[in-house]
Structures are given as C-alpha cells and as structure tokens.
Chains A and B, each alone.
Chain A
Amino acid sequence: MTAVKSRKAQLGPAEVKAELLAKYPPKVARKRSKQIMINEALENGTPEITANVRTIPGIITMRGCTYAGCKGVIMGPTRDIVNLVHGPIGCSFYAWLTRRNQTDPGPEGPDGENFMTYAFSTDMQEQDIIFGGEKKLAAAIQEAYDLFHPKSIAVFATCPVGLIGDDIHTVSRQMKEKLGDCNVYAFSCEGYKGVSQSAGHHIANNQVFKHIVGVDDRPVEGKYKISLLGEYNIGGDGFEIDRIFKKCGITNIATFSGNSTYKQFATAHQADLNAVMCHRSINYVADMMETKFGIPWIKVNFIGAKATAKSLRKIAAYFEDKELIDRVEAVIAEEMPEVEAAVAEILPRTEGKTAMMFVGGSRAHHYNELFKEMGMKTISAGYEFGHRDDYEGRRVIPTIEVDADSRNIEEIEVEADATRFKPRKTAEAMQALEAAGAVKFKDYEGLAPDMEAGTLIIDDLNQHEAETLVKLLKPDIFCAGIKEKFSIQKLGIPMKQLHSYDSGGPYAGFQGAVNFYKEIDRLVNSKVWSYMKAPWQENPQLSGAYVWE
C-alpha cells in the first residue's frame, strides 16, 4: 500500500508535458519538447519523436557513453575473450562485474576459460598521454597472452586514445600476426563518439562481424538452428530462454552475447534464423548476417509469458516443421499452468496499478508485456538511447537523418559471401509466411504502438523530468536504473531496476515471468511505503494529557 494518494486522473498529458518543460530556458524547452511525445496510438502511425540526438549539457541525463555500449554491453559478456581496455583505469574499473551478465563456465567445467571476473587495463599514465600508448598496449597484449593464452583479445579505446592518435587497430593486427594463435582486434569506441551508448553498440557490431562472425566453418550439429541476438543473460535471462529452447528441441548456436563464447560468434553464420531480442543493440549484426550469409531475422521477445509463447510459435512457424510446431505447443501447454497460477494469485493485488519505465534501448518496451499480464498500465515510458525506429517502428528508417554528432560512426559495406551465401528460404516462401501472418521478417514495430493513447513517451529523460513526472502522476512503480533508484524511492514510490533487476531475476521466459510477478507484487504492496510519516506527524493536532499526581 503506498502512502501517497493517487492523482493520476487529474492531469491530461498535454498539461503534464507543459509542466515538464516549464522550468527550462526557451532553447532547452524547444529541444526537449520534440523528445516528449504524447502517444496517439494511431493505427497508421504515431507522431514523430526526436531521438538519438546530443544530450543537453548540465541537464542530468541518465545516459552513458560509447565505450559502455561497446565494451560494457556487447563484448563484456563473452567469457573466453580477454577484454583489454586501453585507457586510464576508470573505464575498466567501472565496467568490472557491474552488469550482471551471468556465465556458465561451460562443458569444460572448472577448467573452462572464463575471464568474466577479471578487469584488464593498460592503466594509461601521464607519459602515455604525452608520448603515446601504443608500445604499452602491445606490451599489455603480450603480457595477457603469456599469462592466459586466450584464443582472442579485444582492445577497447577510451576517450584520450582517439585524441592522442594511438593506432590501436595497427597494434592489434601486428600482435595478431606475432602471436599466431590469438585473434586480436580493436574497437574505436571512444566515449565521446555519437551521443550515447548506442554508437558503441554499432561499433561493436561492426567489429564482431568483421573479425569473428564466420571465421569457423566447422559444422555445428543440431536441428532448427537459430542464433539469439541481443540477449545479455542479465540475472540468468539467457539461461531460462536456453532451457525453453532445449525443451522445444531448438538449437541455439550463438547468443549475442550473454553467456557466450568466441566459438559461438565464429560459427554463428551457420544458423538458419536469427531471433532478435534487443533490436537497438544488435540489429546491425542481424542485417549484415542476412546480406552476407542469407540468414533472415525476426524480432522476438521473451519478456512476458505470452510474449514468450508468441515468440516460440514464430520460430516454429518459420521452420514449417510439424514436429517442432507440436513440440512448441506441448512445451507452452506444460509451462503455462504455473504461470497462470502465479498471475491468479497476484492479480488482485496488482490489477489497475500504474507503471513508468525508462530503460536503455529495449526493455521499456519488452516489460510492457509483463505489466499487461499483471493488469498494470504503463503510463509513461522511454529510452535513454533508442532511435526513432525503436519508438515508431522500422518503417521510419528511410526518413531518419543522421546528424552531425553521429555521422562519424562507421557504416560498413557488406556483400553476399561468394561461397557461403545461402538464402534459407526463397523469397516466395518468406512472402507466404508473412501473408499467413505467421512471422514478419526484418520488422519491428517499436514501443509506441504498444502504449495506450494519451501516455507520455519521453526520450533521454533527465533528473528534473523524472521527479516532476513522478510527483504529477504518482505511478505505483517506477522502473529505471541505479542512478534513479534512490531519488525515486525517497519520494515514497517503489522503484524497480530494470537494468540490474536489483540482484533478482531471471525475468525472461516462463519462470522469469513468475519471478517478475512476485517481485512487482512485493514492491507495490510492501509495508515500508506506509512508514514514512511518524504517528505524531499523521496526527499532528496538539492534545493535552493529565499529569498523574
């Protein structure tokens, strides 16, 4: 029970938007106005939102940087690659075990390679800034190789590297040649590139695709081979999805990149379908794999029990194989009773409650499904670094203009592989599947169509807006990250971290849904929110008392 009285019906979205903008200098107000969209949920599309533009200095953004998007998000979770950060110590320190990419050391057991618990850095010093850090980087690669003999070393640039002109790509190529049995490559993911983590995703996608995907042609055995793209195994999400795949008889060759290995990336070109979870971070690899190897991709979502069932059915429909279709139905039938029982139990306590979600680039959409299953409504949502296609759907991609701040993010040209390009299905077969409504290829409709009319969709939410929104609309739960958590809770509003899951999880798949229902039930019904006022504050009138003589 929350101590704050609900005020949600009192203000219309236009009034709320005006309130959010009221305090800003005129220039800032104009800019922010375009990043705050009142969702009209029209069938033919939604109003346009401005996204993926530079952050306003001093506004107290939630955003991070390109290095975080590249090393922290995409490359960090791969357990057998030594991720060497070329820079002063901070970047390496802060990305050391702070994202909860869980890892199974693999069939090799305790001897398996697992560098997840290590942070590797060249720890640049003043003299490296002055005289250049290339020699130190080469030496660090050698030392890492001598100590660990990894199959691969990835080098990450940080802010000063680009400025002082260290050529990390040449150093990496030279060390790769020198070492012989270790694939060394580099990422120019300096923190100032682009406007957010998003540029780092793109840079990571390009280099993974160029340097790893497809380097291992040794056949991967298994039926219904897919890769799961954009799933980072936070709190064991990937484990739960893999459990379900296994039960269905689906072979997941590679997860990009939760609980992944170098070999998974290297053989990923052998999959017959790419299933994309996080569209923002990995759609580049999905597109490039289609062009180069002929692997189609579909958008999936394993957050929410119904969404999970729907995604499994899409995969089964794609393979057009009765055995798989039946197996998937059997698995859903087996898993759903527990989910339904959990919903039945919590629904009386969650139904009608409201949520707000401001998470990176995909979860603000994915978790909508889970809240719907609990009878809860998302009244406001947005991304830190989504692009317009994540809000409005991929149909708007042709109209997106790349602005000056993101122009220098490399777009790589990909062609069909001369020997290995193999369309998995004919164009006709794909059209037939789409016509039957079973799957849509290379399609993502974005967050906006799933949000109700009159809800507020806000890009790059900042501290001032978060506080104002919460005060005006009093949601029953607010979902974002660690930086927002405690300021929201001080306001007496339960806060759920949807990056780290507050050490909980998994929330994906069927078991994950059950975990999430219980967690939200616990949060919105916790007694703690009723303790903020002391008895003498709740009943402030002065009263006399007899003094016993």
Chain B
Amino acid sequence: MLLRHTPKEITERSALTINPAKTCQPIGAMYAALGIHGCLPHSHGSQGCCAYHRSALTRHYKEPVSAATSSFTEGSSVFGGQANLMQAFSNIFTVYNPEIIAVHTTCLSETIGDDLPQIRKKAIAEGKIPEGKYVISASTPSYAGSHVTGFSNMVKAMTELAEPTGKKNGKVNLIPGWVEPCDMEELKRLSKLMGVGTIMFPDTSGVLNTPLTGEYKMFPDGGVTIAELKSTADSIGTIALGEWCSGDAARELDSKHKVPCKVLDMPFGLKATDRFVDALHKMAGVNVPEEIMVERGQLVDLISDMHQYFYHKKVALAGDPDQLIAMTEFLVSIDMCPVHIVTGTPGKKFEKRIKELTAGMPYQVNVRAKGDFFLLHQWMKNEPVDLLISNTYGKYIARDEDVPFLRWGFPILDRQGHQYFPTVGYKGGLRLLEKILTLLLDRKDRDDTEMKFELVL
C-alpha cells in the first residue's frame, strides 16, 4: 500500500496539512500571465519559487513555460528587493524583449513588504521600462488563499490596462477562469457559433498548446493582446466564469468602467453550459444557433442512453472550488452521488454551495474547504466510492483503494490529452461522460465473472 499510514479513524488536525489539495498563489498568477500575448511572467522573490512554478506548469502542459525571477539573496531579503526588480526589468527588456512583464510576489517579498506599485513607478521614472512596453503587477502572498487566489489576483491586475474610449466595441469580455487552453478555444468556438465577438482574458490557447515546427517562440502567437485588454473597458458586458477565479476581475471592470458583469459557474456539464449559453445570448442579444442545440441534444441523449451506469454511483472529488461546484452539479444532474468533496482553497461559500447542490441526495455528503487528500482518503475508507475524480495526486488513493480514477483539474502530470480535448461546454460534457463511462465499464469488465461477462453494454 502506497499510503499505508493513513488510518481509517479520523482525528481532527489543527496544524498539520497532509497531501494538500491546493498549492500556493504565484503559480496561478504565472499561469494567468501566460494568457497575455507577448507577456513574460516575473516572480518577485527568491528563485526557487519560480523554478517550481515553471516546472509544475510544464509538467502539466508539456510545453515550455518561461518566467523570470528577481533571484533574491539573503541581502535583498533583509534590505528589500527593489534593486533586484529594477535590474530584472532592464535585463528582461534587453535580452528577451517582451511586450509586457506581469510581476507577482511570493511569501518572501510579501513578508518583507516590498511595495510593487512604488517600484514600478520608480522604474518608469528612471526609464527602465522602454517606450510602448508595459508592466503590471499583482500581490500574491503564498500564505493566503491558494493558487486559485493567485490566478484571480493576476486576472484582476489585467483590468488595470482597461482604457475606455467612450465608444462601445460591441464585444463581450469573457473571463474563462483556470481552464485548459483547449477549454478556452472551445468557449471561443461556442461564442463564434453564436456570432458574439469576445475578448477573452486570460487566453492561453495558442500559448500552451503550440505546434512543433523547428522554431521556438518564447512569445507564441496566442494570448489576449494589450490592445484587447485596453478595449475591455468598451465592451458591452463581461461574463466571468467561476466566482473564485474570475469574479474579482469582472467586478473591477464593472465598478471602474461600468461594464456590467455576470458571474457564472464554470461551464462544465449540462446545466452550467446552459446558463453560459443563455447569458451570452441575452447579453449580446443574439440567437442560439441550431448547431449548438444539436450539441446540447447529443449530450442529453448520451445521458439518457447510459443512465443505468451512472445512477446512484458514489463519487469522491478533490480540486479547486469553481471546477468542483460545476462538476458536483453535473454529477447530481445525471443522478450520480458526489459524497466526499474537498478543496484546499479556503472559502465558506464553497461548502454552502456544495450542500445546496447535493441537498436531497440519498447519501450523507462530506464537504470541506481547506481540506486535504489525507482527509479525503480517510472519508473514502469509511464510506467507499465507485469513482474518484481529482488531479494526478489522487492516483495513490485510487490504487490503494482500488477505485476507478478520473484525472481532471490541475495538475495532471501523468496523462496526455487534457491539453487538447476540452471538458467545458456540451462537447466537453460528452467527453467527461465518455471518460467516466469508460472507467466504470472497464471496471465492470474487469470484475464480472466469466459467466456474467458481456459483449454488448
């Protein structure tokens, strides 16, 4: 047993986190920053953070992830990192020449209290930032929230660039939240089918799924452009997907530039996708085309065809709040039973929302924000499940408990496909269901006796 020391008996822990279901803020900020065209993320701290965050993102996407760091030494940790950041600006623009640098912080620079906006002002005053180039910054202390918070903080920082011209651009701002590049592509495809012009930010499609051509572009073709970010202030509205990931940025544009916003769940599964399509249709004043109706109908068709295999199957889930809320709703909507749900990300609203979504289920539901994989495993030992859905770290529990395992979320370190095949929208719903079905039926085929073994399922 790989997790042989995890006891079935649950004792309360007040100080010790074991096998976290979250990581720290800056990696989220780094991922978000990669969704700006021509952007180099910059980590203002000691260089270990930056190395870890780049490695983790690269292991997930199997793509180059460039980011620079202030490389604090002990001296700068005591006396402040301003000189490091000023040097970094000049080196980065000279050697790598990005359009924009997106700076985030770490627990180091936050604890010592480096003032990023002040350093940026000084850099501008001293001509360290070349004409026509930009620097944005987000405060991302690792000791608050999680990687999701860091993502949200950097997305919010992008709204600093918004510049109203007084003339509406007729577009909808679309804040997709922390999803895969292919998910962002899928959301753009749906918008395009509806004839809605969008500004998506961040947009990592074309950045973290680039082709192999013999040429390496540190700044690939994808990403939201600075011109588009400026134009977000002129959009007819903003649709933000995921309260934790995207809510703050949307509200910022609303309060600063009067761009009305709607914060929705991430469009995983039938109902959340319905709400997304409906909101887009209303905000842009367009009809939903037949093509999208067909996709929706196909998803409903698959649910009805295969319902017998989903019905009342118990599921354990670990991941990030926005994704888990949508997934829980999806599972409940097809009569599956999510019974254990943890996120490492804090937020009381999460537990409340999950309880609402699972009210009336025939099983008791365990839910915990600020939980960890250790607790989830203990719950599973006490109330076994038919399926585990989480990032790659769940594979140790899945193996020990012999439970079918769906990799979903961040990070997925040991499988391919997640970066190319979306799980949002109706098409994504089809794919999620196909994956779940395959897992459940593979298990049935494995477990059935020879007498019960069936050709047609």
Say if the beta carbon of B141 comes within 8 Å of chain A. Answer: yes
**CA A88 to CA B20, docked complex, whole Å:** 11
B54 at the interface (CB under 8 A from A): yes
Q: Across the interface, do B214 and A405 meet the contact criterion of CB distance under 8 Å?
A: no
Q: Name the interface size band of chain A.
A: 35 or more
- Complex CA gap A195/B47 in Å reads 9
Spot the interface stretch: B103-111, B234-242, B353-361.
B103-111
| A87, A113, A191 interface centre (most CB from chain B within 10 Å) | A191
The residue on A at minimum CB distance from B56 is A94
A191 contacts B46, C-beta separation under 8 Å = yes
In the assembled complex, the Cα of A535 lies from the Cα of B135 at a distance in Å of 42
Report the minimal beta-carbon distance from A257 to chain B, rounded to whole angstroms: 20
Are B90 and A25 in contact, CB atoms less than 8 angstroms apart?
yes
Report yes or no: A117 in contact with B3, Cβ–Cβ below 8 A: yes
Inter-chain contact A483/B51, CB cutoff 8 Å: yes
Structural contact, B20 and A490, CB atoms closer than 8 A? no
Pairwise interchain contact A67-B95, C-beta atoms closer than 8 A: no
Cβ–Cβ contact A89 & B344, under 8 A: yes
In the assembled complex, the Cα of A428 lies from the Cα of B144 at a distance in Å of 62
Name the segment of B6-14, B222-230, B251-259, B441-449 touching the other chain: B6-14
A60-B49 contact given A88-B24, A118-B18, CB 8 Å threshold: no
**Interchain nearest-CB distance for A93 vs B (Å):** 4
Hey, which chain A residues are within 8 Å of B293, CB to CB?
none
A188 to chain B, nearest CB (A): 11
Contact of B214 among A3, A68, A144 (CB under 8 A): A3
Question: In the complex, are the beta carbons of A64 and B48 less than 8 A apart?
Answer: yes
Q: A159's contact among B15, B45, B64, by CB below 8 Å, is which?
A: B45
Contact B108 A192 (CB under 8 A): yes
Alpha-carbon distance between A160 and B70 when the two chains are bound, in angstroms: 16
B52 touches A94 (CB 8 A): yes
- Asked whether, in the complex, the Cβ of A23 is within 8 Å of the Cβ of B216, the reply is no
Contacts A114-B4, A482-B59, A532-B214 given; does A122 touch B17 at CB 8 Å: yes
User: B5 touching A148 by the CB < 8 A rule?
Assistant: yes
- Chain B window 76-98, contacts with chain A (Cβ cutoff 8 Å), 1 for yes, 0 for no: 11000000110111111011100
Q: Is B341 an interface residue (CB 8 A)?
A: no
With both beta carbons as reference points, the residue of chain B lying nearest to A111 in the complex is identified as B4
Q: How far is the CA of A119 from the CA of B212 in the complex (A)?
A: 36
Q: Are A24 and B94 in touch, CB under 8 angstroms?
A: yes
| Known contacts A159-B45, A482-B59, A483-B54; A89/B108 CB under 8 A | no
Which A residues are in CB contact (< 8 Å) with B210? 490
B67 touches A60 (CB 8 A): yes
With A88-B142, A160-B111 already in contact, the answer to whether A65 and B47 are too (CB < 8 A) is yes
Contact A94–B23 (Cβ < 8 Å): yes
**8 A Cβ contacts from A473-503 to B:** 481-483, 485-492
Q: Could you tell me if B71 and A56 are in contact, using CB atoms closer than 8 angstroms?
A: yes
A341 within 8 A of B: no
Cα–Cα distance between A485 and B143 once the two chains are bound (Å): 31
A residues near B107, Cβ cutoff 8 Å:
87-88, 90, 124, 129, 158-160
Indicate whether A89 sits within 8 Å of B146 (C-beta atoms), given known contacts A23-B95, A67-B48, A191-B46: yes
* A191 to B84 Cα, complex, angstroms: 16
Establish whether residues A60 and B51, one from each chain, have CB atoms under 8 Å apart when the complex forms. no
Stretch at the interface among A132-140, A418-426, A518-526: A132-140
Query: What is the count of residue pairs linking A and B with beta-carbon distances less than 8 angstroms?
Result: 265
Question: At the interface, yes or no: B2 with Cβ under 8 Å from chain A?
Answer: yes
Given contacts A57-B84, A143-B14, contact A405 B73 (CB under 8 A): yes
Q: Is B250 engaged at the interface, CB distance under 8 Å to the other chain?
A: no
Q: Of B5, B106, B393, which contacts A115 at CB under 8 A?
A: B5
B48 near A88 (CB under 8 angstroms)?
no
CB–CB B96/A464 < 8 A: yes
B341 to A: closest C-beta gap in Å: 19
Q: Mark B22-33, 1 if CB is under 8 A from A, else 0.
A: 111111000000
Structural contact, A123 and B58, CB atoms closer than 8 A? no
Contact B70 A123 (CB under 8 A): no
Kindly name the residue among A58, A193, A489 whose own CB sees the greatest number of chain B CB atoms within 10 A.
Answer: A58
Of chain A, the residue at the smallest CB distance from B374 is A118
Contact B24 A58 (CB under 8 A): no
Selected contact of B51 from candidates A65, A121, A147, A489, CB within 8 Å: A65
Residues of B contacting A88 with CB < 8 Å?
A: 24, 107, 141-143
Instruction: Known contacts A191-B46, A482-B59, A486-B63; decide if A404 and B213 are in contact (CB<8 Å).
Output: no
Task: Report the bound CA distance from A136 to B89 in whole Å.
Answer: 38
Query: Is A54 part of the binding interface, using a Cβ–Cβ cutoff of 8 Å?
Result: yes
Q: Distance (Å) between the CB of A29 and the closest chain B CB? A: 10
Which residues of B from 259 to 281 have beta carbons under 8 Å from A? none
Residue A28 at the B interface, CB < 8 A? yes
- Taking CB as reference atom, which chain B residue is nearest A499? B55
Do A192 and B46 touch across chains, with their CB atoms under 8 A apart?
A: yes
- Please name all residues of chain A whose beta carbon is closer than 8 Å to the beta carbon of B52 when the two chains form the complex: 64, 68, 90-91, 94-95
Q: Shortest Cβ distance from B15 into chain A, in angstroms? A: 4
User: Is there contact, CB below 8 Å, between A486 and B24?
Assistant: no
B122 at the interface (CB under 8 A from A): no
Complex interface bits, B97-141 against A, C-beta within 8 A gives 1, otherwise 0: 000000000111001100000000000000000000000000001
Cβ-neighbour of A163 out of B1, B23, B90, B111 (below 8 A): B111
Would A58 and B70 count as touching, CB distance under 8 A? yes
Is A61 an interface residue, CB under 8 A from the partner?
Answer: yes
Question: Is B65 located at the chain interface by the 8 A CB criterion?
Answer: yes
B144 touches A125 (CB 8 A): yes
Structural contact, B77 and A137, CB atoms closer than 8 A: no
User: Given A58-B88, A94-B23, A148-B5, are A139 and B212 also a contact pair (CB < 8 Å)?
Assistant: no
Partner of B91, one of A59, A531, A532, A533: A59
Taking a contact as CB atoms closer than 8 A, the residue among B19, B66, B73 that contacts A96 in the complex is: B19
Cβ of B417 under 8 Å from chain A: no
Residues from chain A with a CB closer than 8 A to the CB of B192 are none
Determine whether the beta carbon of B142 is less than 8 Å from that of A146: no
CB neighbors of B among A89-107 (8 A): 89-98
User: Can you name the residue of chain B whose Cβ is closest to the Cβ of A85?
Assistant: B17
Are A483 and B58 in contact, with the CB atoms below 8 A?
A: yes
Residues of A contacting B58 in the complex (Cβ-Cβ under 8 angstroms): 482-483, 485-486
Q: How many Å from the CB of A407 to the closest CB on chain B?
A: 9
A65 contacts B75, C-beta separation under 8 Å:
no
CA of A66 to CA of B45, assembled, Å = 13
Contacts of B450 in A (CB 8 A): none
CB pair A90 B112 closer than 8 Å = no
Complex Cα distance, B112 from A28, in Å, reads: 27
B74 near A: Cβ within 8 Å? yes
**Residue pair A90, B142 in contact (C-beta under 8 Å):** yes
Taking the complex as formed, is A15 at the interface, i.e. its CB lies under 8 A from any CB of chain B?
Answer: no
Determine whether B215 belongs to the interface, using a CB cutoff of 8 Å to chain A. yes
B16 within 8 A of A: yes
Instruction: Select the residue from B23, B48, B146 with max chain A CB neighbours within 10 A.
Output: B48
Q: Which B residues are in CB contact (< 8 Å) with A411? A: none
Which 4 pairs across A and B sit closest by C-beta, in order of nearness? A65-B48, A58-B88, A90-B24, A139-B15
Which residues from chain B sit less than 8 Å from chain A, CB to CB?
1-5, 7, 11, 13-20, 22-27, 42, 45-49, 51-56, 58-59, 62-77, 84-85, 87-92, 94-96, 106-108, 111-112, 141-144, 146, 210, 212-218, 344, 374, 393, 396
Given contacts A87-B107, A147-B11, 5 further A-B contacts (CB under 8 A): A59-B91, A88-B24, A111-B4, A118-B18, A129-B107
Contact sample, A vs B, 23 pairs, CB 8 Å cutoff: A23-B95, A60-B66, A61-B71, A63-B71, A65-B49, A66-B48, A89-B20, A89-B142, A90-B142, A98-B56, A111-B4, A117-B2, A118-B19, A139-B15, A140-B16, A142-B15, A146-B11, A159-B111, A192-B76, A463-B96, A481-B55, A489-B212, A491-B215
Residues on A lying within 8 angstroms of B by beta carbon are 3-4, 23-25, 28, 54-68, 84, 87-98, 110-111, 113-115, 117-126, 128-129, 136-137, 139-140, 142-144, 146-148, 158-160, 162-164, 190-195, 404-405, 408, 463-464, 467, 481-483, 485-492, 528, 531-533
